[in-house]
Chains A and B, each alone.
Chain A
Amino acid sequence: QKEVEQNSGPLSVPEGAIASLNCTYSDRGSQSFFWYRQYSGKSPELIMFIYSNGDKEDGRFTAQLNKASQYVSLLIRDSQPSDSATYLCAVNWGRSGAGSYQLTFGKGTKLSVIP
């Protein structure tokens, strides 16, 4: 059973602070990992993906992956009120090479950035 666990929150941080979102997954064979942001009533929006152990940075966002611990996280620096949303962690267990996107999602963590 492929499972993805996230703390549902809500996680509240003050504006300008670092928000840290965490995710664990059960399938050791998983190869790729995604973070999506979802505003209320909208569809998920891709923030980042990561394949290799370590950190990957894109602007204010840093994804961290530790395959040995089956753990992936997302850091948001200089958090803004517009970052307030639900953040979904997803693990791709589809076959590689065919552009397979059989994603297992966590339930999401609701983030509130307080002005």
Chain B
Amino acid sequence: ETGVTQSPTHLIKTRGQQVTLRCSSQSGHNTVSWYQQALGQGPQFIFQYYREEENGRGNFPPRFSGLQFPNYSSELNVNALELDDSALYLCASGGGTEAFFGQGTRLTVV
């Protein structure tokens, strides 16, 4: 158990819809990162939040957005869903030298 919890675990959405994924970070971790992992690929960095501010972003369009709350929980929002957004979405929290992943949310866009 990493202490990082994501919800929901599975989700099916229709193309064009919007989705919100949630992450509860491990106690004491003030950094949260989000990753997208397509089938057969390594995770790809979406963005990172540190003390409620975005402080790094990967090569993802603006329709991918996020929030971090004072209790260090976090949300990933994706607007105008596309079929290629189907993937495992991973949240990672860290508080020092290590980053630990939650169990992930499997998003299917149909």
Contact = CB atoms under 8 A, between A and B. Distances in A.
Interface of B: 29-31, 33, 35, 40-45, 48, 50, 55-56, 58, 88, 90, 92, 94-104
Given A44-B43, A107-B42, A49 B48 contact: no
Nearest to A104: B45
Contacts of B101: 36, 43-46
B98 to A, nearest CB: 6
A82 interface: no
Nearest to A45: B101
Contacts, number: 72
B102 A49 contact: no
Contact of B31 (A49, A51, A99, A105): A99
A2 to B, nearest CB: 10
Nearest to B44: A105
Given A106-B42, A107-B42, A101 B102 contact: no
Contacts of A44: 43, 90, 101
9 contacts: A4-B42, A43-B88, A44-B43, A44-B90, A94-B48, A98-B50, A101-B33, A101-B94, A106-B42
